[in-house]
Chain A
Amino acid sequence: MTTELFIQYLFAGITYGSIYAIVAIGFNIIYNTTGIINFAQGEFVMLGGMIAISLLPFMPLPLAIGLSVLMTMVIGALIEIVFIRWLHSPSVLRMIIITIGISILTREAAVHIWGDNIRALPYFVGDEITTIGVLGARISPQVLWVVGVCGVMVFVLHLFFKTTSVGREMRACAANRTAAILCGINPRNMVTFSFVLSAGIGALAGCVMSPITYTQYDVGTGLAIKGFTVAILGGLGNSGGAVAAGLMLGIIEAFSVSVVPLAFQDAIAIAILLGILFVRPHGIFGSGEAARLKAF
């Protein structure tokens, strides 16, 4: 394998990997405050891209993206308030079924609003054929946008959870809900907030990736499956683990092309997931002890 090809695979892998990681972090944020997997996470990514594309004719690109992220956050909050908030200590299974329902509902709403056409945001820099050289390989500048934005998001989220008081309250709810209530934290608000946050990062990821992939009403499902795989691999609730696992999966997928036919690419991801679940059910980066204490 030449260096050029190696770098080319590496970049392809990092691109997929950062998108998987962002979706997985969205899963984690909600998992941490509610203990459930929100299967509508992929739909937030789709909504982000779709809304930005619809707003674009009326305003410049950065404004369209910003407004789209805000609108998706509002949708996230509404979903939580309408479907989740009023439930009194629901079972895990019930919550999962509800989120799957929300995912289907969102997708159907999207197909009615936007139709079944594929759309894409324009490239942030240059166009479809603009290319830049990195260490002998050629990539689209948008790849750097995806990787950069995802990197910054992870960093900002990390700061948010470590330093701000809302972030600390959310972590408190994740660690021990009862203790958090005793400290005067309203866990219901934290749950709403976690939906807002994960809708926001999903929407932003949906905007930056839209030019290189495309946005269609049903892109969310595929992303949710990959993101879920990554979230499990990294250990549910562990955002650092999600980043590492996302990049790992993306890079393995990209390099797998050189040894096995492309058709097996998805099989590899699922095979890894199964393997990990057999050997380390709490994920590569998760803690076994912590996993035993969780309901799900």
Chain B
Amino acid sequence: MEVVVNGHPDLNMKILERGKGMKQQMMSKVMVAAAALSLMLAPTVWAENIKIGAILAVTGPMSFLGGPEARTLEMLVEETNAKGGINGRPIELIIKDSAGSPEKAVSFAKQLIEEDKVLAIVGPSSSGETMSIKNIAEAGKTPLLSCAAAEVIVDPVASYVFKTPQKDSDAVKMIFQEMKRLGFANIAVLVDNTGFGKAGKEQLEKIAPEFGLKIVENEVYDKAASDLSAVVAKIKANKDVQAVVNWSVVPAQAIVAKNIRQMAWDVPLFQSHGFGNIKFVEVAGAAAEGIIFPAGRLLIASDLPAAHPQKELLVRYTRSYEEKYKENVSTFGGHAYDAFVIIEAAVKVGGNDREQVRAAIERLQNLPGTAGVFSFSTQDHNGLTIDAFQMMTVKDGKFVAYNGK
């Protein structure tokens, strides 16, 4: 009983702070009454749950993203609740499987905001879905922490919308820097038709001239494509092409690599940060060797120096995830990890209140995550810089840091 009595005035004060208008005062009275009632009903276990919603592509063509994200969140919530939750309050996680469909994401977003009244939403997994619910989160005044990469999610900034993966434009710059260093001038661009692919295509086309690169072949393929040999043949026939960039989050990015090598074409192949799942390497097999791509340091956690600010967190995440689920970590699960860490840090400061949490996220500085070290501001809702990326390559079926040739 003592615990409860201690908890009660806290709640009262918070409600009084919020309740300024008449209607809100009425509301707070009702809420106090309701709280008092719940105290009577369950006096020993009472605590206001922190409700976190998640809209993730757990199944469907983008299950590569949503699957690890959902598992990561479940693991983190379990761990945090075992330690007594955040500020002594348990977390309630509600995961909705959008199967990668923007239509489903829209209805789940409305449901989570209006019916479940969650504190914040993690996800969606893909850029297309995120863009379709950006306005809903904004109108519903609910913080949205997208696990999708496209830059348009946070540019222009919407006050309630954040994203945890690194910037597309920084990934493009990393790739182009390396191409320039290797002396390439004419490149081919292949993208998938997901929101990620489309956003990547825009950035690639926009930034290429800055690095003196010319895109001589430019193709978009379907996200469910299972063979791309015809289009690879077309690109190969253009003798000007010195390197290929493939920008994709779907399994077809492994197919591209296979189709290129099967045509005995040893062109340098660059991929986006969407390649950061070891399963793509397994499917592409020998064809994945030598692929160059930018990614967060999670994939090479054990090779990092001990003093690196992300080292401890990356190693811990990798160990606990791999022990629990018997599968390799991927950068995608990491994006959900970061979203959770950000919410956790913000709730510690702002409490269980949407507006306070939103403001608290904007004030977070130097928070280590899997994608990089986050420092948010009112203008920057991504919080990462180009340093969050590291160029990597595939060697003997494993991701290793790329140090040039």
Q: Is B263 an interface residue (CB 8 A)?
A: yes
Contact B230 A129 (CB under 8 A): no
Contact B220 A262 (CB under 8 A): yes
Q: Is A63 an interface residue (CB 8 A)?
A: no
Question: Which among A81-89, A117-125, A287-295 touches the partner chain?
Answer: A117-125
**Known contacts being A116-B59, A213-B255, A214-B255, is A8 close to B233, with CB within 8 Å?**
yes
User: What 0/1 pattern do residues 178 to 222 of A give for CB contact below 8 A with B?
Assistant: 000000000000000000000000000000000011101011001
Partner of A5, one of B60, B224, B237: B237
Cβ < 8 Å to B, chain A residues 249-271: 253-255, 257-258, 261-263, 265-266
When chains A and B are docked, how far (Å) is the Cα of A154 from the Cα of B264?
Answer: 31
Contact of B229 among A15, A111, A116, A265 (CB under 8 A): A15
Give chain B's interface residues, CB within 8 Å of chain A: 58-61, 63-64, 67, 193, 219-222, 224, 226-231, 233-234, 236-237, 251, 254-255, 257-258, 261-265, 279, 283-289
Name the residue on B nearest A221 (C-beta).
Answer: B224
When C-beta atoms are compared, the residue in chain B nearest to A1 turns out to be B237
Across-interface contacts of A100 in B (CB, < 8 A): none
Chain A 129-145 interface residues, beta-carbon cutoff 8 Å to B: 129-131, 133, 137-140
A2–B237 alpha-carbon span in the complex (Å): 8
CB nearest to A11 among chain B residues? B229
Q: Give min CB distance, A183 to chain B, whole Å.
A: 44
Are A116's CB and B67's CB within 8 A?
yes
A129 x B222 contact (CB < 8 A): no
Contact partners of B67 in chain A: CB under 8 A? 115-116
* Given A127-B286, A129-B287, A9-B233 contact (CB < 8 Å): yes
Closest CB in chain B relative to A171 CB, distance in Å: 33
Asked if residues B287 and A263 are in contact (CB atoms below 8 Å), the reply is no
Q: Is A16 an interface residue (CB 8 A)?
A: yes
Residues of B within 8 A of A11 (CB): 229
Q: How far is the CA of A254 from the CA of B233 in the complex (A)?
A: 10
Shortest distance in angstroms between A186's beta carbon and chain B's nearest beta carbon? 39
Instruction: Please tell me if the beta carbons of A212 and B222 are within 8 angstroms of each other in the complex.
Output: no
Instruction: Check B227 against A263 for contact (C-beta < 8 Å).
Output: no
Minimum Cβ distance to chain B for residue A214 (Å) = 6
In whole angstroms, what is the CA distance A261 to B189 when docked? 13
- How many A-B pairs with Cβ below 8 Å? 112
A219 touches B226 (CB 8 A): yes
> Do most interface residues of chain B lie in helix, strand or loop, or is the interface mixed?
helix
Which residue on chain A has the smallest CB distance to residue B224? A222
Alpha-carbon distance between A280 and B392 when the two chains are bound, in angstroms: 54
How far is B288's CA from A16's CA once the two chains are assembled, in angstroms? 23
Pick 16 A–B contacts, CB within 8 A, sort by A: A4-B237, A5-B233, A12-B230, A16-B227, A116-B58, A128-B258, A129-B287, A130-B262, A131-B262, A131-B263, A138-B263, A140-B258, A253-B230, A257-B231, A257-B233, A257-B234
> How far is it, in angstroms, between the C-alpha of A282 and the C-alpha of B283 when the chains are bound?
41
**Are B262's CB and A213's CB within 8 A?**
no
A133 to B262 alpha-carbon distance, docked (Å): 10
Q: Which residue of B lies closest to A2 (CB)?
A: B237
Docked Cα-Cα span, A139 to B236, in Å, equals: 13
Beta-carbon contact of A128 and B261 below 8 Å: yes
Within 157-178 of A, Cβ neighbours of B (below 8 Å) are at none
CB-based contact B222/A263 at 8 Å: yes
Q: Which of B219, B231, B284 has the most CB of A within 10 A?
A: B231
> Contact: A266 with B255, CB < 8 Å?
no
CA distance A24 to B254 in the complex (A): 27
A138 touches B264 (CB 8 A): yes
User: In the bound complex, do residue A265 and residue B283 qualify as a contact, i.e. CB atoms below 8 Å apart?
Assistant: no
Residues of B within 8 Å of A265, CB to CB, are: 222
| The 5 A-B residue pairs with the shortest CB-CB distance in the complex, in nearest-first order | A116-B63, A213-B226, A8-B233, A140-B262, A128-B287
Tell me whether A76 is interfacial, beta carbon within 8 Å. no
Query: Does the CB pair A258–B234 fall under 8 Å?
Result: yes
Does the CB pair A212–B231 fall under 8 Å?
no
Q: Is A13 in contact with chain B by the CB < 8 A criterion? A: yes
Report the minimum CB–CB distance from B234 to chain A (whole Å).
Answer: 5
